[in-house]
Amino acid sequence: MTRTSDLAIQAWLDQEDKHTADVIRAHGVYIQYVGGDQCSCCSRLGDATDDAQRDEQPPFAYTVGLFGIGHPELLMVGVDPGTASGVLNEVADRIRGGNDLVPGELLTFEGWTHRVTVEAVPNPGEIAIAANRFYRRPPEHSVPLLQLTYDDKQRRFPWETGYAIPPWIQPRPGEFRA
């Protein structure tokens, strides 16, 4: 890489950092959404698909900003941008209002039929890249991350018999990497 391209990349990253900080100041959190390989099936939570032929990367989203107030960042995997931003913003509002989430906690939402349970993510440094960049933390000393795992249309979670969402859409904590 040339010195000019290094400077251009650094200028772009500086702008990203400023944008992230501005969004956190205005809204409390910044949501980093990564589109994955296929998203159309993710909006049909609970519709079974043939996961034997799937090796795509699911879309995912996580917050940046909660670590700054002493709370782990939040992650959702396998949902569309609207669902991710709605759920993550609502839960972030609850946290900023005084709730501290703990693994195993069950959350419900007005206007969204799914429930989520809170799970610790054992490999946050492999996922929360934008958060670690913002907080200037190396992956081995990553910001902590909690996965919000949602149930299927029959209200079953991934560890329950008959869970209808293919595992590639909502991998278990520790099985997913960005």
Which tokens is 14 given? Answer: 């500086």
Q: For residue 171, what is the enclosing H or E element? A: none
Going residue by residue through the chain, which has 178 residues, state the pLDDT in tens, using 9 for 90 and above.
Answer: 578 788 888 888 889 999 999 999 999 999 999 987 644 444 445 444 444 444 578 999 999 999 999 999 999 999 999 999 999 999 999 999 999 999 999 999 999 999 999 999 999 999 999 999 999 999 999 999 999 999 999 999 999 999 999 999 999 999 999 9
Cβ atoms of residues 170 and 158 within 8 Å: yes
**What pLDDT, on the 0 to 100 scale, is given for residue 57?**
87
Q: H helices within 32-167, ranges in order?
A: 81-96, 129-134
Cβ atoms of residues 42 and 81 within 8 Å: no
Backbone angles phi, psi at 77, to 5 degrees: -125, 135
Q: For residue 5, what is the enclosing H or E element? A: helix 3-27
- Structural domain boundaries of the chain? 30-150
Mean pLDDT, the chain, integer: 90
Say how many C-beta atoms besides its own lie within 10 A of residue 135's C-beta: 16
